[in-house]
Amino acid sequence: MRRTIIESLTYPRMVMLSQMDAENCPLHLYFDPAYPICRSCEHSGECQWLTDHDEFQALTEKPIQYLYEAMLFSIDYVESRSSLDRHNIRRCACESCTWLRDAKYLTHQIRQELTLV
């Protein structure tokens, strides 16, 4: 399941990166809470998530709870983007809506596993 979660985090990472401008970011989308511009940036949440869940981070070593929380943030983010575009998440066949349905099912499975442990 861990591998499935980590692979699933790829899509929201791509969506977030597509909405952000690395060229105009002085830290090139690396979130540093000590840097004042990071704390006041409109993309601070996404940037912090990207930094914490970077594809080069050792996500395989993170606890399932950590990955579960990363999935929840990802779902909220992608769902808000889809809502802005007026997608009907239950019926739409686009990549975002399909990912959302799959991600919600995956988080349900994770939640069940976490309650069994």
pLDDT digits (tens, 9 = 90+) for 26-49: 888 888 989 898 888 888 888 888
For residue 70, give the nearest of 85, 54, 83 by alpha carbon: 54
Q: Would you state the pLDDT for residue 81?
A: 85
> What pTM value is reported for the model?
0.83
DSSP string, 13-48: HHHHHHHS-GGG-TTTT---TTSHHHHH-TTHHHHH
* Domain boundaries defined on the chain: 2-116
pLDDT of residue 12: 94
pLDDT digits (tens, 9 = 90+) for 64-115: 899 999 999 999 999 988 877 787 878 888 999 999 999 999 999 998 888 8
The whole-number average pLDDT for the span 2-17 is 91
